[in-house]
Structure 1
Amino acid sequence: MSLGDEKGYGSGSGRTDDGYSTIGGTRQTRTRFPDGEGGDGYNTPRRPARNSRSLVMVVGVVVLLFAAIALANMGGGGGDSNHSSGKAGSKPDSSSTAATGTKPVTGKNGTIASGFAHDEQGAQSAASNFAVALGSAGMFNADTRRSIIQATHDPAVVEGLLAAMTKAYSPAFLENVGLNEDGTTPSGLTFVSRTVPVGTKVVEQSGDTATVEVWCTGLVGMAGQGSTKPVTATWFTISEKLKWVGGDWKVESSSQTEGPTPVNGDNRASTADEIAGAVEGYGGFTYAR
């Protein structure tokens, strides 16, 4: 899947063959009116077919980023594509969102939370925070990307991962998503890349290792007047293999799959300026349970 460059981006009725078949239990015919001619009694035009092209393109960006992460973990298990549903994990119960009595982490490694508890709850909190950081706009800048990778990953895999990231975030790729070749945002536009965890599941935990899946929704695109890559929502699940290193959880390897994706609602799409204002006005969260 790929994005175009910034300059060029851009059923039946329920009847059978029997003319006297019934619909809804009564013998009645169904008449389809042209758009705007009483199709539902309120002159409401039929909804146009949804164009999924932009969604597919944006999903391609997100998948590419995390695919690069998995590829860089040489032999670290990042290529496991069957993680999402084939393994038993801890299932949520009625107390999943209840207060645990454990205070949220207060430490910071740069702008990323640190000092997670050495238990299942701490692993879930770490995985959620790491997902947010690795899906942020900072990953598109070489300097901040290095800081994010160093703060979230096992030191043993950092250098190899950074080398892979340098290749993945090439000038051509950055230009393809609407950024300048050095990763900066064109004047007058706001680049958006945010990951929002929806839920977590511990697939496996034993001593100093844990595998946590994070179900996420994400926002990717360019906001502002003249943008040809509007901000679009995506859904995906990240599987993170964590290791207890130096008194904290760190990512050893990670992989990503698409979905689960809910049905889109009928919310009115906001203007480019509204999205840009929201991104600039609302900060992200630190996730802790």
Structure 2
Amino acid sequence: MSLGDGASGGGEGEYGGVGQTRTRLPHRAGDVYGGARRGRSPSRSLATVVGVVVLLIAAIAFANRGGGSSSGGNSDDKTRSAPTAATGTRPVRSKPGTIPSGFTRDEQGAQSAAANYAVALGSADMFNKDRRDEILRAIITPARVAYFEGTLDKAYTPQFSEKVGLNADGSTPQGYTFVSRTSPIGSNATRFAPDKATVDVWCSGLLGLAGQNSTNPVTSSWFTITMQLEWNNGDWKIVQHSQKDGPAPVPGDERASSAEDMAKAVEEYGGFTYAR
């Protein structure tokens, strides 16, 4: 899922733990992903109706805001930006297939860097030694690269690869699709200075092996990554990294997809890079 997942049994620390929550998968014989949809409880149905009514009221209020004024409103009418709302400023430059770089030297740039780096650290490429070292050289401050490489070499062992369903060398077994993705949900700069920043990135992730008879089906998890960044040679770089579980929402009523549908989705839907 992300840096160090599975290496230390789920505890917190510089590289975090497994960071996975158990996902309830309805059972259906012959398919670990499938199963019948559970019926909605009366309380959940009532909550859904109430939610729709609230949204309708909010939409009507928004449409009527400003009355008959034709001047476009004043600054008091403008909705204030949420902490992770897009600002309209382009804070990152990137090319397809590369890790974004060139973040702005401000709080927005630090949050954007942390979100992008979370995606890279949670990718399937981390299970390949050569690609992992490339990622680390791109996002870790130079003085710490050797330390990160050595520590992660001890974490991404043949035993860990086999634990998530891969071959001992990190390759994917024939007939299966390996899934490891991290998606930032939001970010928060808890500390910021022109040369240093600490950013929390709330993420959801997917990890597992999609395919018939997989003993490691793709499961979801929720975790928060904390990155200490420094401004180095014109960009933000990671100095230290830690991870903790959650916040995790209550699982929904969606039926788990089949192994075939999951593998197809991974192949058809490319991952994102994130710029705040």
Q: TM-score, normalised by structure 2?
A: 0.71
1:174 to 158, 161, 167: 161
Identity of matched residues, %: 57
Which of 14, 29, 32 is the equivalent residue of 1:70? 14
Aligned to 2:81: 95
Taking structure 1 as the reference length, what is the TM-score of the superposition?
Answer: 0.68
CA drift at 1:62: 2.6
**8 Å contact from structure 2 (residues 212, 260) kept in 1:** yes
Give the Cα separation in 2 of the matches to 1:245 and 1:229. Answer: 40
User: 1:229 aligned to 213, 216, 223, which one?
Assistant: 216
Alpha-carbon shift at residue 107 of structure 1 (Å): 3.2
The whole-number CA distance in structure 2 between the counterparts of 1:233 and 1:285 is: 17
CA 1:163–1:110: 2 relative to 1, 3 Å: farther
In structure 1, stretches of 5+ residues that fail to align are 1-57, 72-77, 80-92
Cα pair 2:13 2:243 within 8 Å, conserved: no
Q: Among residues 265, 268, 275, which one is paired with 1:281 in the alignment?
A: 268
> Which of structures 1 and 2 has the larger relative contact order (alpha carbons within 8 angstroms, sep 6+)?
2
- Counterpart of 2:143 in structure 1 is 156
Matches of 2:156 and 2:96, distance apart in 1: 23
Residue type at the aligned position of 1:209: K
Check conservation: 1:106, 1:114, Cα contact below 8 A. yes
Cα 1:68/1:164, change in 2 over 3 Å: farther
The structure whose Rg is larger is 1
SS in 2 for 1:222: strand
Quick one: distance in 2 between partners of 1:244 and 1:141? 28
1:179-202: CA deviation from partner (whole Å, max 9, x where unpaired) = 111100000001101000000011
Per-residue CA deviations over 1:221-241 (Å, capped at 9, x if unaligned) read 100112111100100000000
Aligned equivalent of 2:190:
203
Counterpart CA distance in 2 for 1:264 and 1:255 is: 25
Distance 1:99 1:244 in 2: 22
> What is the rounded CA distance, in whole Å, between the counterparts of 2:152 and 2:192 in structure 1?
28
Gaps of 5+ in 2: 18-78
Query: Contact 1:68–1:168 at 8 Å: present in 2 too?
Result: no
What is the correspondence of 1:1-289 to structure 2 with a 5 Å cutoff? 62=5, 64=7, 70=14, 94-96=80-82, 98-108=85-95, 111-289=98-276
After TM superposition, give the deviation of residue 251 of structure 1 in Å. 0.5
Aligned length: 212
What is the root-mean-square deviation in Å for CA atoms of aligned residues? 2.5
Deviation at 1:94, TM superposition (A): 3.9
* Structure 2 CA distance for aligned equivalents of residues 189 and 154 of structure 1: 35
